[in-house]
Amino acid sequence: GWPLFENDVRHFQWSSIPEDIDLLAGGPPCQPFSLGGKHLAYGDPRDMFPATIDAIRLLRPKSFVIENVRGLMRSSFSTYYQYILLQLEFPDIARREREKWLDHLRRLRSEKASQKNRSASHGYEVTSTLVNAADYGVPQKRERVFIVGFRSDVGARWSFPRPTHGLNELIASQWISEEYWERHHVPRRSRPKMPTKFRSTVPQQIVNKGVTSKKPWVTVRDALVGLPDPRKAEAAEFPNHRFQAGAKAYPGHSGSPLDLPAKTLKAGDHGVPGGENMLIQDNGQVRYFTVRESARLQSFPDGYYFRGSWTESMRQIGNAVPVSLARTVAASVATSLIDAALKEISEPRLRDSV
């Protein structure tokens, strides 16, 4: 029952949206900045950051959340990335007709340097952060940029949520307490040895105590608990859990190990990328993740059903924001908005009582 405009966002009439929007959230297409793309940035017709900034300028939401690939922060894009952030900070300072973006950037820099009253122009307090989804309990090493902004007159105080999971804690659970293997009923003879590269990385306090304030990274084995091998008959009871043949390993595309978070799932323009969407099984052989397994690696609840072909479903999943990470970010933004609103209500009462 949600209203859906299934078309080019640049053709949408933002005036149809009610005023006083709390949150605008979106992910402009990543292809202009992706490591696997043509790296055209502002020269790519798929660059939708201008459309995103237009929407913020017209709607003036109390807050916004934008997600994109790590490539956005590459040194070759640094000037354009700064341009994006400054436009988000000062959306009312729009680009003039026929004005080159570098000239617009100079005007924005001048505005930033002058430190004018930003609340009068509906400016935004903007924070950009590079995060690894595995640090927030997602069973996948997925680095993404989040850009979060609050309208200056809202008075919200916000910082990106602290990581809740860690590699050191996973190492401790696997090779110090061995709780990990016991929980998964892995016989001692079948347990791998601690990789040499991990031996010097575990802090001594974890070795001594085996406990920290964080939880262990969630692994592929953790994520797939309860799902049968897709080649078995009982796999038919699980939607989107169908075996796909043809997986092959080759240099640089060797699949994801069972006992670490998965590699970053990719969307791919021409079918499904092999190495990023394969599992290395206990016997060392590889097979493709099913759609259901991939959905779990993106922390989708099992109630999500994906329609369409295998490649189309995998493209949707590969382009998605991990659900649990999105929830963490959105909840923190909502909390800051609520706190700011309560503060605005209470301050007049305090002044009246004085």
Tens digits of per-residue pLDDT, 244-292?
998 988 887 889 999 999 999 987 665 566 667 999 998 889 999 999 9
User: What are the residues whose beta carbons fall under 8 Å from the beta carbon of 235, sequence distance 6 or more?
Assistant: 227, 228, 229, 241, 242, 243, 290
Distance, in Å, from the CA atom of 317 to the CA atom of 267, rounded to the nearest integer, reads 7
- Given a contact cutoff of 8 angstroms between Cβ atoms, the answer to whether 265 and 291 are in contact is no
Tell me, what's the pLDDT at 319?
87
Tell me, what's the pLDDT at 184?
97
Q: Is this model's pTM higher than 0.95 or not?
A: no
Catalytic residues: 30
Tell me, what's the pLDDT at 46?
64
Tell me, what's the pLDDT at 124?
95
Low-confidence ranges of the chain (pLDDT < 50): 34-41, 43, 119
**pLDDT tens-place string over residues 22-75:** 999 998 875 555 444 444 445 456 678 889 999 999 999 999 999 988 888 877
Tell me, what's the pLDDT at 209?
57
- Given a contact cutoff of 8 angstroms between Cβ atoms, the answer to whether 315 and 307 are in contact is no
Tell me, what's the pLDDT at 273?
63
Tell me, what's the pLDDT at 70?
84
- Given a contact cutoff of 8 angstroms between Cβ atoms, the answer to whether 108 and 230 are in contact is no
**3-class DSSP string for the chain:** CCCCCCCCHHHCCHHHCCCCCCEEEECCCCCCCCCCCCCCHHHCCCCCHHHHHHHHHHHCCCEEEEEEEHHHHCHHHHHHHHHHHHHHHCCCCCCCCCCCHHHHHHHHHHHHHHCCCCHHHCCEEEEEEEEEHHHHCCCECCEEEEEEEEEHHHCCCCCCCCCCEEHHHHHHHHHCCCHHHHHCCCCHHHCCCCCHHHHCCCCHHHHHHCCCCCEECCCHHHHCCCCCCCCCHHHHHCCCCCCCCCCCCECCECCEECCCCECCCCCCCCCCCCHHHEEECCCCCEEECCHHHHHHHCCCCCCCCCCCCHHHHHHHHHHCCCHHHHHHHHHHHHHHHHHHHHHHHHHHHHHHHC
- Given a contact cutoff of 8 angstroms between Cβ atoms, the answer to whether 317 and 306 are in contact is yes
Tell me, what's the pLDDT at 353?
58
